[in-house]
């Protein structure tokens, strides 16, 4: 059941005309009257409302508003189906029925790729070839309240050094894929909610879509489903209206089915669609090896996984068997413990877990009998629902519940086909760094031996990933981490390295572009823009900052450059929410900024670059040592060097 704001079940509501002059017949409209009878508690005077409905009288005031809300919900959801499913699932929850009863788990077999290995690089190459035939779906229906951030989550900076927000990071990466694959345009669809739609559209408008064409971006908008007060699926009133809550990110499939977008993508010649969520900065950085794996095995569905820790609030992929049936299924962490206890007597206790951790990043084939388009046409994209009520001691609800559904349960809609996964491993940092916890929650997670998954830890992981990516070059040295305590959380901050997607998408790019680079402890290296940059014998001294900005069509070689300046500093947070939830801000005290906007080929090199005197003292060949004050001098020096054609 889809909960999209445009979600239409293909037939009018059985409540249509209620309170607006249509007389309801006890026999013909029995289903409608039965539905309203079950929810009679929401009306101020149900007996009067029923009499007016049977007489075809006009209903005014509060009860008219309630009826109008129910008509809209029924047209979108089919409330009879919603409450029927809810009562069944709530009764099971009340009786503590285990939905996985009788299923036996075993560890599934899939691809395992280790960063820096030849197999990883081979899969990246395949992924880079295939990404030009991908559509992208970003699930972005959430606000940052859980993080202590009062905006939409995609507007949160992924890192503080440049302030690039998640949405910009994702769009810039897709545009880099586009340029490398020589594709006209790669489509991006955002699943929004009523809470995030206006702010997301405004963010895109303010920044001119971060460089993406407007006709590349489409939207589907999710609406809520009625909250439930008890196991009889009775609705909840909130200020004289029906209280609605999110139905879960599984709605993305039904909304896409209603939109017709997947069929359009297939007709354009696209082959796959990649689903990802709003605050994991690694999502698109790790897509290419996963895509290569999925394409090489011709999978209809491929989940991207990482190593999982025991007790982690992260689903696990399990191969489940019952009688003669077997299926590869994501098992949520709260169901994994009883499943493993029943099967092994130990529960979810092994770290690392033998069961891969599901990152909720899916690569789904558009084409074929078991492809996305055919499956949506057959099922409407309505993934299985579940309910997760919180009970008091007397088995009443602590707070209203609702039906939910999950994006990663899409494989349950398939009738055959090939479903698999790939586990991505990197020694320097885990290939998964979602920002989903407030500082206080993060402290509790760390006490349990789990990842913090908050804004400050996500930023540290971001720099660690980029630093490890840079290590693919020859003779690269990355300095040590600086320990700090931010909002009560101990964080070890690596050198602040930010590499634009245009600089390097795969390890082969770094191998060909980077040689003899050192970024010392506390230093900052930023490579931004759409140009091509090569680094050779570049040193960024401790605490110093080097920023390289290039426009599209620029080819820049930086040779023999040594940077020493006051750099960027981590200081106490200011007043912005993004700084407050991190517990720090980045202040630019000084930097060396190399900026090239006009298309062309350039070199920044030592003063003796053009010297023909082989006997010249070695001191004259030392790299340039630049502080911020030297940037103006650099511009003059560049005029003396050869412009490379």
Instruction: Determine the pLDDT at residue 10.
Output: 54
What is the DSSP track for 569-603? EEE---SSHHHHHHT-EEEE---EEEEE-SSEEEE
Using pLDDT thresholds of 50, 70 and 90, give the confidence band for residue 394. confident
628: confidence class by pLDDT, cuts 50, 70, 90: very low
Q: How would you class 108 by CB atoms within 10 Å of its CB: exposed for 0-12, middle for 13-18, buried for 19 or more?
A: buried
Give the pLDDT of residue 183. 76
pTM score, two decimals? Answer: 0.91
Rg (CA), the chain: 28
Residues whose CB falls within 8 Å of the CB of residue 629, separated by 6 or more in sequence, listed in order: none
How long, in residues, is the chain?
645
Q: Helix or strand or coil: residue 197?
A: helix
- Higher-pLDDT residue of 503 and 630 is 503
Q: What is the DSSP letter of 142?
A: -
- All structural domains of the chain: 1-77 (no CATH), 104-436 (3.90.550.10), 456-640 (no CATH)
Cα angle value 575/200/184 (rounded, 5°): 125
Could you report the per-residue pLDDT of 113-166, keeping only the tens digit for each? 999 999 999 999 999 999 999 999 999 988 998 898 989 999 999 999 999 999
- Which is nearest to 501 in space by CA: 294, 210, 111? 210
Q: What percent of the chain has pLDDT over 90?
A: 81
Nearest Cα to Cα of residue 223 among 39, 75, 4 = 4
Residues 6 or more apart from 537 whose CB is under 8 A from it?
A: 515, 516, 517, 559, 560, 561, 623
Q: Is the pLDDT of residue 545 over 50?
A: yes
Q: What is the pLDDT of residue 96?
A: 85
Q: Residue 214: which pLDDT band, with cuts at 50, 70 and 90?
A: very high
Separation of alpha carbons 493 and 480, rounded Å: 9
499 within 8 A of 475, measured Cβ to Cβ: no
Extract the runs of DSSP E, i.e. beta strands, from 156-310. 188-193, 217-222, 225-226, 244-245, 272-277, 301-306
Q: Report how far Cα 59 is from the mean position of its chain's Cα atoms.
A: 46
Could you tell me the two tokens for 449?
Answer: 């031996």
On the question of pLDDT at 636 being above 60, the answer is: no
How far is 550 from 176, CA to CA, in rounded Å?
Answer: 14
Q: What is the pLDDT of residue 9?
A: 52
Taking only the tens place, the pLDDT of each residue in 219-270 is 999 999 999 999 999 999 998 899 999 999 999 999 999 999 999 999 999 9
> From CA 341, how far away is CA 318, in angstroms rounded?
14
- 470 vs 6: which has the higher pLDDT: 470
Which pLDDT does position 607 carry in this prediction?
43
Q: What is the pLDDT of residue 241?
A: 92
Q: Is the pLDDT of residue 47 over 70?
A: yes
Cβ contact 189:136 at 8 Å = yes
H/E run at residue 60: none
Burial of 600-620, coded b for 16+ CB within 10 Å and e otherwise, reads eebbbbbebeeeeeeeeeeee
Query: pLDDT band for position 605 (50/70/90)?
Result: confident
Please, which pLDDT band fits residue 425 given cuts at 50, 70 and 90?
very high
Query: What are the tokens at 638?
Result: 């560049």
Nearest 5°: the CA angle 13, 15, 19 is 140
Q: Which residues contact 503 (CB under 8 A, 6 or more apart)?
A: 509, 513, 527, 532, 533
Q: What is the pLDDT of residues 91-111, one digit of tens each?
A: 998 888 888 988 999 999 999
The single residue listed with the structure tokens 């009560």 is 488
Q: What is the pLDDT of residue 97?
A: 86
364-391 confidence digits (pLDDT tens): 999 999 999 999 999 999 999 999 898 8
Which ranges of 225-267 does DSSP label H, i.e. alpha helix?
Answer: 251-259, 261-267
**Are 489 and 443 within 8 A, CB to CB?**
yes
Q: CB count, 10 Å around CB of 11?
A: 9
Q: The dihedral of CA 346, 349, 354, 358: what is its sign?
A: positive
Does the pLDDT at position 470 exceed 90?
yes
Backbone angles phi, psi at 177, to 5 degrees: -55, -45
Going by C-alpha positions, the residue among 51, 78, 59, 73 that lies closest to residue 17 is 59
Per residue in 260-270, is it b (16+ CB within 10 Å) or e — as a string? ebbbebbeeeb
DSSP 481: P
Peptide bond into 41 cis (omega under 30): no
Average pLDDT of every residue of the chain: 91
What is the per-residue pLDDT for 643?
Answer: 37
pLDDT level of residue 608 (50, 70, 90 thresholds): very low
Q: What are 287-336's pLDDT values in tens digits?
A: 999 999 999 999 999 999 999 998 888 999 999 999 888 999 999 988 89
Residue 327, number of CB atoms within 10 A of its CB: 14
Minimal CA–CA distance to 99: which of 397, 314, 388, 328?
388
Residue-wise pLDDT tens digits, 175-186: 999 999 987 799
Question: In sequence order, what are the beta bridge partners of 322?
Answer: 325
What is the per-residue DSSP string for 80-129? HHHHHHHHHHHHHHHTT--TTTT-EEE----EEEETTSHHHHHHHHHHHH
Angstrom distance (rounded) from CA 426 to CA 113: 9
Q: How far apart are CA 573 and CA 456, in angstroms?
A: 12
Q: Write out pLDDT tens, residues 325-334.
A: 899 999 998 8
Using DSSP's 3-state secondary structure scheme, residue 173 falls into helix
Whether the upstream peptide bond of residue 352 has omega within 30° of 0, thus cis, is yes
In the block, which residue shows the tokens 């929410």?
577
pLDDT in tens, 8-22: 455 789 999 998 999
List, for residues 583-596, the tens digit of each pLDDT value.
999 999 999 999 99
């Amino acid at each position: 059941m889809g909960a999209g704001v445009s979600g239409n079940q293909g037939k009018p509501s059985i409540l249509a005309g209620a309170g607006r002059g249509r007389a309801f017949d006890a026999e013909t409209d029995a289903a409608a009257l039965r539905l309203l009878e079950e929810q009679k508690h929401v009306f101020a005077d149900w007996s009067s409302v029923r009499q007016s409905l049977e007489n075809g009288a006009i209903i005014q005031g509060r009860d008219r508003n309630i009826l109008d809300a129910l008509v809209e919900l029924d047209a979108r959801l089919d409330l009879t189906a919603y409450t029927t499913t809810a009562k069944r699932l709530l009764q099971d929850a009340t009786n503590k029925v285990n939905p996985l009863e009788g299923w036996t788990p075993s560890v599934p077999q899939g691809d395992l790729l280790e960063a820096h290995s030849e197999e990883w690089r081979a899969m990246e190459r395949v992924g880079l070839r295939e990404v030009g035939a991908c559509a992208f779906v970003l699930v972005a229906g959430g606000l940052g309240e859980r993080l202590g951030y009062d905006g939409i989550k995609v507007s949160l900076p992924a890192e503080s050094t440049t302030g690039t927000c998640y949405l910009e990071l994702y769009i810039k990466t897709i545009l880099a894929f586009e340029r490398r694959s020589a594709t006209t345009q790669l489509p991006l669809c955002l699943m929004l909610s009523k809470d995030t739609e206006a702010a997301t559209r405004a963010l895109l408008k303010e920044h001119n879509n971060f460089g993406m064409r407007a006709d590349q971006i489409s939207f589907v908008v999710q609406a809520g489903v009625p909250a439930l007060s008890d196991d009889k699926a009775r609705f909840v009133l909130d200020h004289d209206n029906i209280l609605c809550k999110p139905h879960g990110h599984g709605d993305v499939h039904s909304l896409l089915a209603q939109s017709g977008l997947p069929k359009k993508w297939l007709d354009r010649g696209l082959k796959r669609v990649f689903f990802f969520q709003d605050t994991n900065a690694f999502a698109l950085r790790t897509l290419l090896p996963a895509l290569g794996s999925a394409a090489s095995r011709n999978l209809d569905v491929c989940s991207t996984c990482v190593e999982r820790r025991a007790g982690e609030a992260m689903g696990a992929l399990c191969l489940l068997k019952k009688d003669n049936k077997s299926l590869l299924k994501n098992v949520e962490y709260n169901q994994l413990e009883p499943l493993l206890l029943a099967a092994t007597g130990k529960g979810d206790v092994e770290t690392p877990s033998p069961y891969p951790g599901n990152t909720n990043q899916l690569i789904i084939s558009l084409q074929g009998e078991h492809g996305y388009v055919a499956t949506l046409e057959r099922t409407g994209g309505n993934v299985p629902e579940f309910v997760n009520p919180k009970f008091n001691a007397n088995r009443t609800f602590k707070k209203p519940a609702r039906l939910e559904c999950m994006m990663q349960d899409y494989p349950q809609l398939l009738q055959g086909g090939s479903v698999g996964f790939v586990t991505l491993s990197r020694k320097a940092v885990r290939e998964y760094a979602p920002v989903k916890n407030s500082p206080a929650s993060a402290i509790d997670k760390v006490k349990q031996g789990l990842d913090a998954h908050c804004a400050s830890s996500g930023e540290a992981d971001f720099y660690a990933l980029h630093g490890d990516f840079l290590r693919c070059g020859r003779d690269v040295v990355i300095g040590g981490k600086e320990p700090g305590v931010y909002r009560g959380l101990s964080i070890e901050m690596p050198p602040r390295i930010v590499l634009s997607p245009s600089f390097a998408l795969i390890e082969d790019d770094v191998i060909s572009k980077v040689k003899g680079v050192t970024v010392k402890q506390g230093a900052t290296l930023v490579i931004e823009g759409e140009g091509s940059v090569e680094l050779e014998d570049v040193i960024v001294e401790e605490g110093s900052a080097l920023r390289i900005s290039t426009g599209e069509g620029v080819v820049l070689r930086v040779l023999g450059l040594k940077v020493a300046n006051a750099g960027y500093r981590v200081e106490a947070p200011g007043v912005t929410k993004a700084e407050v939830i991190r517990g720090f801000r980045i202040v630019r005290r000084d930097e060396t900024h190399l900026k090239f906007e006009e298309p062309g080929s350039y070199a920044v090199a030592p003063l003796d670059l053009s010297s023909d005197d082989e006997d010249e003292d070695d001191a004259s060949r030392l790299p340039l040592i630049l502080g911020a004050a030297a940037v103006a001098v650099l511009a003059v020096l560049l005029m003396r060097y050869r412009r490379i054609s």
